[in-house]
A and B are shown apart, each in its own frame.
Chain A
Amino acid sequence: MRFTKAIVPITLFVLLMSLAAPAQKRYGRAAKPRPVVSPIDTEALKGLLTQQRERPLLVNFWATFCDPCRDEFPDLVKIDKEYRPRSLDFVTVSLDDMTDIKTSVPQFLDSMKATMPAYILNVSDPEPAINLVDSRWQGDLPATFLYNEKGELVYKHIGRVNTAELRAAIEKVVSRN
């Protein structure tokens, strides 16, 4: 009898919770859209790197499966927030699988509060894209390249970025104020 008495409130509680949980999830999704990740092929990447521009450009190649990439990302987000108002353009290019375009890649960017334009390399063969960026780069991640407003490569780093070194390189190409 005591058991029956206990089971009723427990069942009611579980029922209420199961109704409440999806509602909260739906609300969460509607309130905050995930970052948009755009596919980019070798030609479009070439265009991005060589187009006429008036601002310096920082490009970070990364992937969700790459530990040092995830490790350095908070520093890169800080750099973006700090230097974008000082005329730096910053884009990220993920080398994850295209099937991750709507899942792990935007999820990670969202968790990092990253707002820079985000791309995912959409190629069946990454070698031409890697060679286009830097023929000496083996494709190991992360890899970070800084171009001045004339499109000249002024800094590159393969591996986890040294934040102080990157900041110093950016300071040389961004506006002073």
Chain B
Amino acid sequence: MKSRKLSILLASLFVIAGAVFAAGARAEGEVPAPPAIGSTIEDFTLPDVDNKDRSLKSLAGKNGTVLLFIAVQCPVSNAYNERMAKLAEDYQSKGIAVIGINSNVAEDAAAVKAHAAEHKLAFPILKDPGNKIADRLGASVTPEAYFIDANNKLLYHGRIDNARNAAQIETSDLRNALDAALGGKTIEKTEAKAFGCSIKRA
């Protein structure tokens, strides 16, 4: 009986210590590490801007899917609105779907919906309550892109291109990755640091 009580006490202490450690890590702005290139992203379900649950599987493209972490208020993400809309439009016919994910705690579904309408973002945008998916994918900023193939294998992670200012684009890393995958070629650059506003986590 005594040993049972002791093990319950130890288990509780372990849980409390874990929670404290996790809170401490978050307070320091640590973001979980992103999955390695080549690893499989498990299916997930998130509410869209009309609060309807949507699974990754139901929205995925037959040749792959781009997950874009985006924001309503971030000027860097907003500088990419036109480019993101064009990306979705250009690759839809090629079987690649674009899904936006908003993990910012302060931006609610109504704000995300209004922002998407204002900036003509025609691709589906999901809310990520509690930044569960941002944590799972190790997303730290907006905009930040993940490209997965038809089997959810991660092929590319990082920025959309090198420049916030569209006039200074030198390398369209995300498009290069999509084109290589569609052409059956090796993706030369599978990771490129995404630059933008930190995701405001819960």
In the complex, the answer to whether B163 meets A125 with C-beta atoms within 8 Å is: yes
**Assembled-state Cα–Cα distance A177/B77 (Å):** 46
Interface size on B, residues (CB 8 A): 25
Residues of A within 8 A of B75 (CB): 65, 97
Instruction: Point out residues on A near B: beta carbons under 8 Å.
Output: 63, 65-68, 95, 97-99, 124-127, 130-131, 138-141, 157-160, 162
- Is the beta-carbon distance between A158 and B193 smaller than 8 angstroms? no
Q: Compute how far the CA of A127 lies from the CA of B158 in the bound complex, rounded to whole angstroms.
A: 11
Residues of A within 8 A of B193 (CB): 126-127, 130-131, 138-139
Q: Are B28 and A124 in contact (CB under 8 A)?
A: no
Distance of A66 Cα from B73 Cα, bound (Å): 10
B interface residues with partner A (beta carbon < 8 Å): 28-31, 74-76, 79, 140-141, 159, 162-165, 168, 170-171, 192-195, 197-198, 200
In the bound complex, CA of A97 to CA of B80 (Å): 13
B200 nearest in chain A by CB position: A67
Decide: B164 and A97 in contact? CB cutoff 8 A: yes
Q: Contact: B28 with A138, CB < 8 Å?
A: no
Bound-state Cα–Cα, A63 to B75, Å: 11
Give, as a whole number of angstroms, the nearest-CB distance from A45 to chain B.
15
Chain A residues closer than 8 Å to B79, beta-carbon distance: 97
6 chain-A/chain-B pairs, Cβ below 8 angstroms: A97-B164, A124-B170, A127-B162, A138-B193, A139-B194, A158-B29
Nearest-Cβ distance from residue A39 to partner chain B, whole angstroms: 14
